[in-house]
């Protein structure tokens, strides 16, 4: 008699494609910062601050996707929960890029909105997976 597989295939697919999308997003943002740094007058250390936020977001996204994938595949609640919490931090960073940057390009709004969509769906599917893992644990 086998055990029931509770891992979420849609969640795993989202994490896979989001990892590739975020790599492209990071390269696009770096190129846009080069463009904005050369053509637009930035006050004080705003450009450096925005680049630091991008680097922090990269670390958060790496760990969020890694823990989400690992938690989903091993059907463990804690990594999935941490991934959900890091997803909230990623949403705040994405809102920074859309709303609070010194200069926001239309292309940035588009790619940040797509990233927000990825994160939002991943959080929803992660919550569903977390509930499934918690229910299975209580019946064991």
Q: What is the pLDDT of residue 95?
A: 96
Helix (H, G, I), strand (E, B) or coil at 102: coil
Share of residues in the chain with pLDDT > 70 (%): 96
Q: How many residues does the chain have?
A: 140
Question: Could you please report the per-residue DSSP string of 104-137?
Answer: --HHHHHHHHHHHHHHHHHHHHHHHHHHHHHHHH
Q: How far is CA 57 from CA 62, 85, 120, in A?
A: 8, 13, 16
Query: Distance (Å, rounded) from C-alpha 114 to C-alpha 73?
Result: 25
Q: Is the pLDDT of residue 137 over 80?
A: no
User: In the chain, where are the structural domains located?
Assistant: 10-135
Q: What is the pLDDT of residues 86-128, one digit of tens each?
A: 999 999 999 999 999 999 999 999 999 999 999 999 999 999 9
């Amino acid at each position: 008699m086998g055990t029931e597989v509770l891992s979420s295939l849609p969640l795993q697919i989202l994490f896979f494609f989001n990892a590739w999308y975020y790599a492209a997003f990071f390269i696009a943002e770096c190129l846009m910062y080069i463009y904005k740094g050369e053509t637009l007058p930035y006050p004080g250390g705003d450009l450096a601050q925005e680049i630091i936020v991008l680097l922090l977001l990269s670390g958060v996204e790496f760990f969020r996707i890694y823990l989400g994938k690992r938690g989903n595949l091993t059907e463990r609640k804690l990594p999935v929960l941490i991934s959900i919490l890091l997803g909230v931090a990623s949403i705040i960073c994405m809102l920074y890029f859309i709303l609070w940057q010194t200069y926001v390009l239309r292309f940035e709004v588009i790619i940040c909105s797509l990233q927000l969509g990825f994160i939002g769906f991943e959080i929803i599917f992660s919550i569903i997976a977390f509930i499934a893992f918690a229910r299975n644990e209580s019946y064991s």
